[in-house]
A = this chain, B = another copy of it.
Amino acid sequence: MLTREKNELLVRTGPGTPMGELFRRYWIPALLSEEIPEPDCPPVRVKLLGEELIAFRDTKGRIGLLDEFCAHRTASLFFGRNEECGLRCSYHGWKFDVDGNCVDMPSEPETSTFKNRVRLKAYPCVELAGIVWTYMGPPERRPALPELEWATLDADRRFVSKRWQESNYLQAMEGGIDSSHVSFAHRYNIDDDPMHAGTEGLKYLKADTRPKFEVAESDGGLVIGARRTAGDRSYYWRITQWIMPWYTIIPPFGTHNPMGGHAWIPIDDENCWAWSINYHPTRALTEPELASMRAGEGIHVKYIPGTYRPVANKTNDYLIDREAQRERRSFSGVEGISAQDFSLQESMGAIVDRSKERLGTSDAAIILARRRLLDALKLLDEEGPLPGAAPEHQRVRSASLVLPDSVPFQEGARDALIAVPGREFVSI
């Protein structure tokens, strides 16, 4: 349970809001590189933290992320011409470079110096892992570039997709932190998933359906341990990483399978991007794996063609299949791991009223994550990187392993939770 005031603090991320200010201090996954695939390609609309922007790749391959609306008369630059190192408004021909400078103003006399005084809001961008990232905060507070493990791997070792979710980012992210729902929402899908098949972990998971949770603060967020009995005097641990402010990493099933992770990025207060990443730290993804991901399986989704919106969505009750529900092929009747999650998260309403919740011990990670986000608001004026913004906060892994019951999981899994390039991850 949360007071309405604290809930409002957490869910509002537009310009001028406290959480919006915090989020603007981090690098933000903004769009897929494939959306602006080549120099001088058409610009695309991007909405982030309530701001309407336009992204384009200029003639030299540089990426611009500008205010969507021309500085002159506010026409949308979506209709603009991307040519000769700038985006030119189709209304009166004003042209802007990737830094937001007005570099041509052909509607004014050639001698005019007006254009030198005109700038469009522009955010710096970098490309990493097939994603265009941006930084929307004060320049002097810009953090180091992202070093999340999946963001630093060679291209053949990861697959990235994004999906429009019709809800506030927080209830989406809470789903990523919350290991507890896996035993329910995904119960009848865990077996089927080829990524789980035959692992030792799956055996323990099925044998003990009431895990105990232990949550520890890490430098960059939380480490969330779910503990199950694993024979005599030992525990099977599934450990989830939450990296502030919005990354989660799924505990893996066996080292032969790729890992999975997410980023939960506010579009505005009632919509968010759910980014889904599969990656393997030590080998290339196989063609069958990639084919399955491209087909929208696992944590990815099937799209409505020409969009990043799922075919199964709110307007069609997520294609719920009551027969499948009855016959225990799907716990909720919705098909697919991903849709099982977002159908429930969207069903809570665009923004959850957390004053109506009743939280239990299994919600400890969610409670702590909210607290860490609220606490981070107090660090805005401090020196040094914010939690989750430093590279060393990001070089972490989730893991699954068996430990003696006498060993605290943070201790027993210490090495397993650190991402070391080229080193195999730990999972059974």
Query: Which residues does chain B contribute within 8 Å of A344, judged by CB atoms?
Result: 75-76, 79, 90-91
- Does A357 contact B73, Cβ atoms closer than 8 Å? yes
- A376-403: CB near B (< 8 Å → 1, else 0) gives 0000000000000000000000000000
Query: How many copies are assembled?
Result: 3
- Does B348 contact A73, Cβ atoms closer than 8 Å? yes
- A49-83: CB near B (< 8 Å → 1, else 0) gives 00000000000000000000101111110111100
Query: Which residues does chain B contribute within 8 Å of A105, judged by CB atoms?
Result: 360
A423 interface hit (Cβ, 8 Å): no
* Bound Cα distance from A407 to B343, whole angstroms: 65
- A355-374: CB near B (< 8 Å → 1, else 0) gives 01111111100000000000
- Does B356 contact A93, Cβ atoms closer than 8 Å? no
Q: In the complex, what's the smallest C-beta–C-beta distance from A86 to chain B, in angstroms?
A: 14
Q: In the complex, what's the smallest C-beta–C-beta distance from A221 to chain B, in angstroms?
A: 20
- Does A356 contact B92, Cβ atoms closer than 8 Å? no
A203 interface hit (Cβ, 8 Å): no
- Does A74 contact B353, Cβ atoms closer than 8 Å? yes
Query: Which residues does chain B contribute within 8 Å of A93, judged by CB atoms?
Result: 183-184
- Does A90 contact B185, Cβ atoms closer than 8 Å? yes
- Does A81 contact B325, Cβ atoms closer than 8 Å? yes
Query: Which residues does chain B contribute within 8 Å of A75, judged by CB atoms?
Result: 344-345, 347-348
Identify the closest chain B residue to A90 (Cβ).
B332
A76 interface neighbour in B79, B90, B347, B353, Cβ under 8 Å: B347
Q: Is the interface of A mostly helix, strand, loop or mixed?
A: loop
Query: Which residues does chain B contribute within 8 Å of A210, judged by CB atoms?
Result: 106-110
Q: In the complex, what's the smallest C-beta–C-beta distance from A185 to chain B, in angstroms?
A: 6
- Does A107 contact B184, Cβ atoms closer than 8 Å? yes
A209 interface neighbour in B106, B118, B183, B331, Cβ under 8 Å: B106
Instruction: Using known A-B contacts A90-B184, A90-B331, determine if residue A107 contacts B74 with beta carbons closer than 8 Å.
Output: no
- Does B360 contact A114, Cβ atoms closer than 8 Å? yes
Query: Which residues does chain B contribute within 8 Å of A181, judged by CB atoms?
Result: 91-92, 107
Q: Which residues, 101 to 150 on A, are CB-close (under 8 Å) to B?
A: 105-110, 112, 114, 118
- Does A81 contact B332, Cβ atoms closer than 8 Å? yes
A185 interface neighbour in B91, B112, B174, B356, Cβ under 8 Å: B91
Instruction: Using known A-B contacts A210-B106, A322-B42, A353-B74, determine if residue A112 contacts B361 with beta carbons closer than 8 Å.
Output: yes
11 further interface pairs, Cβ-Cβ under 8 Å (given A42-B322, A79-B333, A93-B183): A69-B356, A72-B359, A74-B353, A79-B320, A79-B344, A79-B347, A91-B344, A92-B180, A107-B360, A108-B360, A108-B362
Q: Give A contacts to B, CB under 8 Å.
A: 42, 69, 71-76, 78-81, 89-93, 105-110, 112, 114, 118, 174, 180-181, 183-185, 209-210, 212, 317, 320, 322, 325, 331-334, 340, 343-345, 347-349, 352-353, 356-363
